[in-house]
Chain A
Amino acid sequence: MPVRYAPAILLGRVARTLARLRKPGGGSAVPGLVVNTIAPGFLASTLNSFPQGLVIVTGSSGKSTTTKMLVAALRAHGASVFTNQSTANISQGLTSALLEHAGLSGRIAGDIAVLEMDEGHGALISGSLEPRVVVLTNVMVDQIDRFHDSDMVAAMLSKIARRATGTVVVNADDLHLARLGENIAPPVAVARYGVTAEVLDANPRGLGYTLTAPTRLAASDGMLLTGVDGRDATVSVDGATHAVRLPARGTHYAVDALTALAAARATLGRSFDVARAVTAISGIPPVFGRGEVVTVRGTTVEFVLVQNPASFQLNVDSLAPGTEQILVAVGSDVRDPSYLWPADTSGLGHVLIASGSKAHDIGLQLMYDGVTVDRIEPDLGRALDEFLALPEPATGVKTIIFSADSMRRTRAHLGLATNEADPS
């Protein structure tokens, strides 16, 4: 690793310190910007230098959970893993995260790197990366006004997949990815995973993919998800059935676990031990809804992050039944309100406050779905204060469903540690 990056790394660290003085816990993209500007090769050079290579996890949805599970499975096999846990998945954020760990040589300790990448940014920076394994989760209609349509998302994923030197791991139920897998040629291998017909039938709304493959994967062609019951799932690997405990209810979590298993095998090769991987994945701490459970102002709050129209539906569907106190906040990141309308939100039943700069648009969507909305309060700070001050709910926990922009504002308002970068 060339020493020529040392000045850039030092400058990046100065920028980081300055950014934190201005905005504690935040401002993380700035040091990355500094380093990327004065040493544009730093990012790729560092990421390509891990002895057992680089693994990229990308796709519209499920990236974070899959990455977390894959890292747990690899660590259970004794691997030392560098990962972008802070979900710093844009190039500046990623460079900033690397800066946290890099010595002045630019080298980072670890056998292997596992990175979650947003499909858009991944396609932009992947040209200089040499990942050994690329893991593709799915193609959902994501952030409509940014990516226009699912074909563009599929094209970006294909661009990232073409960088793989070892294996591309694909979701065989997602028709875009199944087709992509057919176009991968030796020496690069394709590892497939998918759900059985029974699992698909148990999800009348489908799995959220833009296009679902017409046929299911045969057990001989890859790993299968054979059953989901609450937080328990079963998978079939090489003809043997294994029980997996999920971090939360929902078929999409079971698919994430299956994806992580297939990715772990692709990464570890002959040293992969399925029982060891299943145990590690089952040990992922529980999450509720999509997000996390926090204690703030003496009360327990569940955060549920909506990343795209399909995840909006999945999140609504997997909310604990009987959740009594719900706040929904949609911010300026949802520029086009049509984002909200493919979803059926009637299952929410009753929302106490609709908030965020798009409070009126989400309020309309909820009311036309027959949801009772007590109040529209565009001022998110005021909405949060009043919501958190309410008496404890008789059933469920206080639940805040928000878009990425509203999540950042919520964390800032409540003084919670910010995620370092764009969470998508």
Chain B
Amino acid sequence: MTLAPADSLTIVSLLPRLLDTNGDAANARVLAQRARWAGVDAVVVPVHTVTDLPDRADIVVIGSGTDADLVAARDSLLPLADTVSAWLAGGVPILAVGTGWELLGDGIDLAGSTVTGLGLVAGRASVLPTRATDDIVVTTDAGTTGGVRLIGFENHARGYTGVAQSLGRIQSGTGNGDGGEGVVAGSFIGTHLHGPVLARNPHLADRLLDAACAARGLVRVGSAHTASVDDIAKAARNQVAVRLGLSSE
């Protein structure tokens, strides 16, 4: 059990050893740093087993692993299912990337077999006609996610079906495979944008932090450091946009 100071955010990173092939576990680090730069203390708690669980979670992230570890990752998640379910019921913001998202869903269809998921999120992962390995640009829905553009990288062989509300529409790339990318379900966000998704798209990070801080009555303040880091993120996004022939911000 990890005890954080009362005025500190607890950011849970689920299975960072198994699910960090693309550095997705760094999303926890990005959230913690942004909180600190904004005057809010934050701790990152890696959770591999129930004994690692903190007394409270303010934000939860889970990332992507290799297909060889799918069953091992699912089996490691099973004892945590009740806790994750309670977090979702309690409105705790959860960001799930790639495999982590798929495992929280109903199941994963592989060539010739299926891995049953935890069934905490609607929909399932199914094989795409071709592997998607490229830059991806998504315009998020104005109502739920502020109508901003997300730019990242995707590398996956499966899409996702049964999404009631996607994170946004594909401008470039593959995403779920049906013109949409990701899922938004209550406080849950699933996405194929891997690696530095929150670093490159700080508005998405701040969306998670806003929800967590509001729930705790904590106030974030702007800082010159955050602004300069976000300028670099914007330059990184614009570089991709220009290469793809899209307008820069």
Contacts and interface: CB of A to CB of B under 8 A. Distances in A.
Query: Which has the most chain B C-beta neighbours within 10 Å: A144, A150, A341, A370?
Result: A341
B67 A376 contact: no
Nearest to A341: B23
Interface string A330-347: 000001111111110000
Instruction: Classify the interface of chain A: helix, strand, loop or mixed.
Output: helix
A369 interface: yes
Given A144-B21, A338-B194, A368 B66 contact: no
What band does the interface of chain A fall in when counting residues whose beta carbon is under 8 Å from B?
Answer: 20 to 34
A28 B11 CA distance: 51
Contacts of B33: 368, 370
Nearest to A367: B229
B196 A149 contact: no
A148 interface: yes
B56 interface: no
Given A341-B23, A341-B26, A368-B33, A149 B68 contact: yes
B196 A361 contact: yes
A151 B69 CA distance: 10
A250 interface: no
Contacts of A150: 66, 68
Interface stretch (B76-84, B162-170, B232-240): B232-240
Contacts of A148: 131, 133, 155
Contacts of A342: 20-23, 25-26
B150 to A, nearest CB: 14
Given A145-B133, A151-B68, A360 B239 contact: yes
B117 to A, nearest CB: 20
A403 to B, nearest CB: 15
A132 B1 CA distance: 54
B236 A361 contact: yes
Contact of A364 (B22, B131, B199): B199
Counting chain B residues whose Cβ lies within 8 A of the other chain, the interface size class is 20 to 34
A368 B30 contact: yes
B173 interface: no
A295 B134 CA distance: 39
Given A149-B66, A360-B239, A365-B196, A338 B29 contact: no
A194 interface: no
A84 to B, nearest CB: 30
A208 interface: no
A141 interface: yes
A32 interface: no
Contacts of B24: 338, 341
Interface in B1-55: 20-26, 29-30, 33
B153 interface: yes
B196 A360 contact: no
Contact of B23 (A149, A151, A309, A367): A309
A144 B26 contact: no
B144 to A, nearest CB: 26
Contacts of B133: 145, 148, 336
Nearest to B17: A206
24 contacts: A144-B22, A149-B67, A150-B66, A151-B68, A309-B23, A336-B22, A336-B195, A337-B196, A337-B236, A338-B24, A338-B153, A339-B195, A341-B22, A341-B196, A342-B22, A360-B235, A360-B239, A363-B232, A364-B199, A364-B200, A364-B236, A365-B196, A368-B26, A376-B232
- Nearest 8 pairs of A and B residues by beta carbon: A338-B195, A341-B23, A360-B236, A338-B22, A342-B23, A149-B66, A341-B26, A360-B235
Interface of B: 20-26, 29-30, 33, 66-68, 131, 133, 153, 155, 194-196, 199-200, 229, 232-233, 235-236, 239
